[in-house]
Amino acid sequence: MINPAYATEKGASIVTRTIGLFCGTVLVAVLAAPPAAAQSSTNDITPSSPITASADTDHASAKAGKSKDKDKSKDKDKDKDKDKDKEKSKDAAKDGASTDAAKDPAVTAAVAAQEPDDAELDLSQPDFTLVNLPTTLRLPKFKSAFRVTHRFTRPLGQGDFGDLVSDFFGFDNSAVIGLEYRFGFWNGLQGGINRTSEKTIQFFGQYDVRRQSDSFPVGLAAYAAIDGTNNFRDSYTPGVGVIVSRSFGQHGAIYVQPMYVNNSNLQPSELVEDNDTFFIGVGGRVRVRPTVYVTAEISPRVAGYDPGVHAASIGIEKRAGGHAFQINFSNSIGTTIGGIARGGQTNDNWYIGFNISRKFF
């Protein structure tokens, strides 16, 4: 049997030894571990720790990201500045668009290309007159045209048919001859002079106000003329009017021409009631063959001096290059604005004549 006192002493001895062994083990472990400062220094120098390397990489990436964000922000600011500059440039361009367009040869050429060329053949109105009335055909700048008119003075109804044949339909008789020259001063403006063998001289001018186009259905021109007898020394007859035309493709054109003529009555003003004439010229040209046309005109006088009958003419015309040859028949021999206003003597007397015109362009 074990003595209780002995068992207690034996247990205390075992506990004491166990505690001592544990303390000794802890002391040895502490003395064997390196200092904390040395371990930290070693970790800083040696990149053996994957956690530390990953942290450094993340930090560097963060810095690079911030730098890129700053660069992008700067680029956006630059783009905004560029957009502002472009807007300013557009505003400046709008403000000076007309001036720049006028100075830019390319723009000027493009605009010129859109405008019809006055030198090109206009098949709807190939000449500057119908028979006596003017048309809206434009004369190119610094170009010219010439016209010869003949009005034979023998009435076609005089005598019988044998007499007419013997006089070669009037060509054997005398004629009132007119010579006309016109010149283009600049685009849309033309003027000229016409002298007849009766020593009547007419000066005339015409300005093209508006072309016929898709947005404007008619052509519009202003016309003014003055003629004087005795080589422009006596009896001046001025007139003004408007020429309205409507072309139908390449098939022809029609015209309406209200005209006011002063001093259409050559008698002294003390002996006459009316000294002025207002007439409305109406005419047209129809293309019946590629180079052949039929023309007709009449000039009814609606107010003022109106002796005899209204001037009327009809003709057939052949175009050959820059030339136009026309045979016509009229009830008067007048070719100037004053002669048209005075009309004809009677509708029983018609006269044969011709026009020859030449364009120098």
Quick check: is 124 in a domain? Answer: no
What is the residue-wise DSSP string for 146-195? EEEEEEE-S-TTSS-HHHHHHTGGGTTS-EEEEEEEEEEEETTEEEEEEE
**Which residues, in sequence order, are bridge partners of residue 205?**
191, 224
Average pLDDT over residues 289-305: 97
Considering only CA atoms, which of 259, 255, 271 is closest in space to residue 342?
259
What is the per-residue pLDDT across 132-151, written as a single tens digit (0 to 9) for each?
999 999 999 999 999 999 99
pLDDT of residue 31: 53
Is the confidence at residue 174, as pLDDT, over 90? yes
Is the confidence at residue 251, as pLDDT, over 90? yes
Quick check: is 39 in a domain? Answer: no
Q: Which domain holds residue 313?
A: 144-360
Which CATH number covers residue 232? 2.40.160.40
* CB-based contact 191:202 (threshold 8 Å): no
Computed over every residue of the chain, the mean pLDDT equals 81
Quick check: is 261 in a domain? Answer: yes
Quick check: is 54 in a domain? Answer: no
What is the per-residue pLDDT across 148-162, written as a single tens digit (0 to 9) for each?
999 999 999 898 999
What is the C-alpha R_g of the chain? 53
Quick check: is 65 in a domain? Answer: no
Across 12-21, 42-51, 160-169, 319-328, least confident range: 42-51
Quick check: is 189 in a domain? Answer: yes
Average pLDDT over residues 87-95: 55
- Residue 131 CA, chain-centre distance (Å), reads 32
* CB-based contact 332:314 (threshold 8 Å): no
pLDDT of residue 132: 98
Helix, strand, coil percentages (3-state) for the chain, rounded to 5, are 35, 35, 30
Residue 183 φ/ψ, nearest 5 degrees: -140, 140
HEC assignment per residue over 305-342: CCCCECEEEEEEEEEECCEEEEEEEECCCCCCHHHHHH
pLDDT of residue 102: 47
Q: Which amino acid is at 27?
A: L
Question: What is the band of 88 on the pLDDT scale with cuts at 50, 70, 90?
Answer: low
pLDDT of residue 85: 62
**Which residues, in sequence order, are bridge partners of residue 287?**
293
| Reported pTM | 0.69
**More confident of the two residues 20 and 357:** 357
What is the per-residue pLDDT across 181-224, written as a single tens digit (0 to 9) for each?
999 999 999 999 999 999 999 999 999 999 999 999 999 999 99
pLDDT of residue 109: 53
Considering only CA atoms, which of 278, 280, 285 is closest in space to residue 256?
280
Domain tally, the chain = 1
